[in-house]
Amino acid sequence: MQRERGEPHQMQKLEDGVEEDSSLEESCGGLPPVEEGNRKISLIMELSTQVSLQNEKITQLEEVLEEKERKIQQLEAEREAHCFPEVKDSPECLQETPIFSNNNASPVVYDEDL
């Protein structure tokens, strides 16, 4: 029995809400409430503005990323040009060049007194 009492009460609230809406429509000549329409338009405009601003920010970030990628490529090209000419033993290049050691050779001892 409690469920039956609860259900009509909920429906009554729904009906009350519908009655309130219809009373507003009647006061406006059967048109939807102007305030509700204005609120929806304002929300749409605000969301549109936010999307536009986000698109602009994305475009700016993409441009910055492209600039940084170009700078990286330029620096890599300069480093390669600097490390691979005739001077291969420069300190900058030695840090990145792997060092191979051949431990198979036996040391040679020179005795000048002989």
Output the pLDDT for position 41: 95
Output the pLDDT for position 100: 53
Output the pLDDT for position 37: 85
Residues of the chain by 3-state class (helix, strand, coil), percent to 5: 70, 0, 30
Output the pLDDT for position 70: 97
Average pLDDT, consecutive stretches of 10 residues, N- to C-terminus, the chain (114 residues)? 45 46 51 78 96 98 98 94 66 55 52 52
- Look at the pTM and tell me if it is higher than 0.85: no
Output the pLDDT for position 9: 46
